[in-house]
């Protein structure tokens, strides 16, 4: 299945344009870094407070960072897809990329859990108190997943296929 996708993308108009435009790939890298900064910067603050640390910070105030994290995620989704289209054969077999995608899936499922089970009850918490056990587990899963995504993203150029 992945071979079919690689064959479909390689030589496509978009693939050729990405590879033949000298400034495009470096520009993607810049925007990917900006998106990553928005996403991980926001998630770090949200997750550290959700884990029960920095109790001086109102736990509800961290919710205001979620739209910023969302903007960062969608910037990285768009730029990441363009990276893949630009060099599908390299990314498709890269173990670092594959594990990164798995961690993004885990982070996404964790975010869904947060949205369905944690977020609706935050209003009933002490704004500067400790957080419940499940909130802490959610925060730690998020931290581990997103830090893993960051590290594996940096390793993609240096690791090969499985």
Q: Buried b / exposed e across 47-79, counting CB within 10 Å, b at 16+? A: bebbbbeeeeeebeebeebbebbeebbebbeeb
**Containing structural domain, residue 99:** 2-158
Backbone angles phi, psi at 111, to 5 degrees: -65, -35
Give the separation between CA 53 and CA 138, rounded to whole angstroms: 14
Does pLDDT of 68 surpass 60?
A: yes
Give residue 2's pLDDT: 81
Tokens of 51: 């884990």
The count of other CB atoms within 10 Å of the CB of residue 86 is: 21
Give residue 162's pLDDT: 55
Give residue 160's pLDDT: 75
Helix (H, G, I), strand (E, B) or coil at 63: helix
List the Cα angle 34/37/42 in 5-degree steps.
135
pLDDT confidence band for 62 (50 / 70 / 90): very high
Give residue 131's pLDDT: 96
User: In three state form, how does the secondary structure of 89-151 look?
Assistant: HHHHCEHHHHHHHHHHHHHHHHHHHHHHHHHHHHHHCCCCCCCCHHHHHHHHHHHHHHHHHHH
- Among 7-11, 16-20, 78-82, the range of highest mean pLDDT: 78-82
Across 143-152, average pLDDT: 97
The 8-class DSSP code of residue 158 comes to: G
How many structural domains comprise the chain? 1
Across 113-135, average pLDDT: 94
């Amino acid at each position: 299945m992945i071979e079919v996708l690689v064959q479909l993308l390689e030589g496509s108009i978009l693939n050729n344009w990405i590879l033949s435009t000298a400034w495009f790939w470096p520009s993607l890298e810049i925007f990917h870094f900006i998106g990553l900064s928005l996403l991980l910067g926001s998630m770090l603050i949200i997750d550290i407070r959700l884990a029960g640390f920095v109790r001086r910070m109102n736990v509800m105030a961290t919710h205001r960072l979620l739209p910023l994290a969302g903007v960062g995620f969608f910037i990285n989704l768009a730029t990441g897809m363009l990276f893949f289209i630009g060099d599908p054969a390299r990314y498709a077999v890269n173990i670092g990329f594959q594990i990164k995608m798995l961690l993004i899936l885990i982070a996404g499922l964790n975010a869904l859990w947060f949205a369905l089970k944690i977020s609706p009850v935050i209003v009933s918490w002490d704004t500067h108190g400790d957080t419940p056990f499940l909130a802490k587990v959610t925060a730690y899963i998020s931290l581990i997943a997103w830090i893993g995504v960051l590290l594996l993203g940096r390793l993609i150029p240096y690791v090969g296929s499985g």
